[in-house]
Amino acid sequence: MTGEMSPIDKAKYASARRAADYVEDGMKIGLGTGSTAALMVKRLGERVREEGLKIQGVPTSSTTAELARSEGISVITLDEARWLDLTIDGADEFDANLNLIKGGGGAHLQEKIVATASDQMIVIADAAKAVETLGAFPLPVEVLQFGGLTTAALIEETLVGLDVLGREVVQRMHGDAPFVTDEGNHILDLHLKRIGDARQLSLVLNQIPGVVENGLFIDICDTVVIGHGDGKVEIRDINTGTITEETGENAESENLFSDI
């Protein structure tokens, strides 16, 4: 299937391709989950085949693991890797301090474990993911299936005392059944609209019995590579405080998302 890519798809392609340039021979890489991360994995597969790039990848989901293997990337577990040079992943939102909301694809537990076991985390995103304040995107919270309704009620009660604009807690569904993560857990999506203190919220949520992990990534991301519809990329580095712009490589007319 072919066709012209949308501006957002072109932006994702630009950010994914540029981020793949950070990967060097011999690295152990955390491989993110989602449509933009999938493009990055496919680009790394190209480099493996065309350049002889030798890397080992630690996927953050079963879907990414399957894609990486199909692209010829050597896949290992995090326990085998022990520590990673770099993780590249997408995000649902990021703010000026490069704090993130992740978990729209339901893989934020593995994504956070892998990212925090890395020397560096690079996020790839289109410009629409940049926000002044986190919270417009529903915050995913992974919870145990046991006592799920009780956990949801405890979260609702806890939110009353926190600086958020909305407090709706919704169980994520997959068709007619609750969504189940790779770890066999459920996800509650918190429709908060605006998060006044993301650090406090993250800490408080993870103290609630039944909560496994939330989708707030605080002080984990080092660099965001932002793609634009014209192929340009903007790179924001929190460690150096720099923002650079580069003219990227335009995607071909074939719709690269057709098989993702």
> Annotated catalytic, 142?
no
- 127: tokens are 């410009």
**Identified catalytic residue from 24, 51, 93, 111:** 111
Q: Where are the alpha helices (DSSP H) in 117-210?
A: 148-159, 198-205
Q: Which long-range contacts (CB under 8 A, 24 or more apart) does 80-85 make?
A: 81/28, 81/56, 81/117, 83/28, 83/117, 83/118, 83/119, 84/28, 84/29, 84/30, 84/58, 84/114, 84/117, 84/118, 84/119, 85/24, 85/27, 85/28, 85/29, 85/118, 85/119, 85/120
Q: At what angle do helices 7-20 and 35-51 cross, to 10 degrees?
A: 50
* CB proximity list for 63: less than 8 A, separation 6 or greater: 33, 107
Q: Which residues are catalytic?
A: 111
